[in-house]
Amino acid sequence: NAGVIQTPRHKVTGKGQEATLWCEPISGHSAVFWYRQTIVQGLEFLTYFRNQAPIDDSGMPKERFSAQMPNQSHSTLKIQSTQPQDSAVYLCASSLGGASAETLYFGSGTRLTVL
Amino acid sequence: QQQVRQSPQSLTVWEGETAILNCSYEDSTFDYFPWYHQFPGESPALLIAIRPVSNKKEDGRFTIFFNKREKKFSLHIADSQPGDSATYFCGCSSFSKLVFGQGTSLSVVP
């Protein structure tokens, strides 16, 4: 079991460019979560999917951010017109069924730097 | 997202002492309270968790104390070791959505 796989590990974009981050959950896990980590804010919840359906996107900035899960083996987080304040580590996590008390298994993250 | 407040932001203790990390929340629908730890260069990983039916959960040197009335819980790390140095995040979950506090950076000095 390779764990949650996130690609790329590092991404540098210019202000105004688009960034797409990829996540492959653990095989057999039906829930996928996205978080953003910064020193100031800590771990911020962005959105999560269960059985590929979006369940809660209350943490997503309403403009420029979108997430999809087109199939059970991967999810994407897209940031349009990136801004310097989007610089952070974006973490993807998966859990077995999405129940409240389940353990989240995190990927290694994608460090996004917006110049 | 200020639903979960964590303190202190950083903590330094001597080896062998007990480290105490605190967390408070506002939403009464939260029903699961985990602590995750994150070592430098690594991803967060589950350390220990509690349900509100209990007011204490122990796992070796790690203990969660939970106060439902005051909406507070804490992580006590007994006999702290240098290997415990990490960032600790408290979490609160309801309807499967897990939100975290801002984190506590713990340093254990030999």
Q: Per-residue pLDDT tens for B6-44? A: 999 999 999 999 999 999 999 999 999 999 999 999 999
Q: Output the pLDDT for position A41.
A: 87
Tokens for A53, please give them.
Answer: 């359906």
CA–CA gap between residue B91 and residue B88 (Å, rounded): 10
Q: How many CB atoms lie within 10 A of CB A18?
A: 11
Mutate to test the interface with B, among A50, A104, A105 (most CBs of B within 10 A): A104
Q: Per this entry, what is the length of chain B?
A: 110
Indicate if the pLDDT at residue B2 is higher than 90: no
Q: Tell me if chain A has a CB within 8 Å of the CB of B97.
A: yes
- Taking residues A81-96, report their average pLDDT: 96
Indicate if the pLDDT at residue A101 is higher than 90: no
Q: Tell me if chain A has a CB within 8 Å of the CB of B62.
A: no
Residue of B nearest to A45 (CA): B99
**Do the beta carbons of residue A32 and residue A69 sit within 8 Å?**
yes
Residue A67 exposure: Cα atoms within 13 Å on the Cβ side: 29
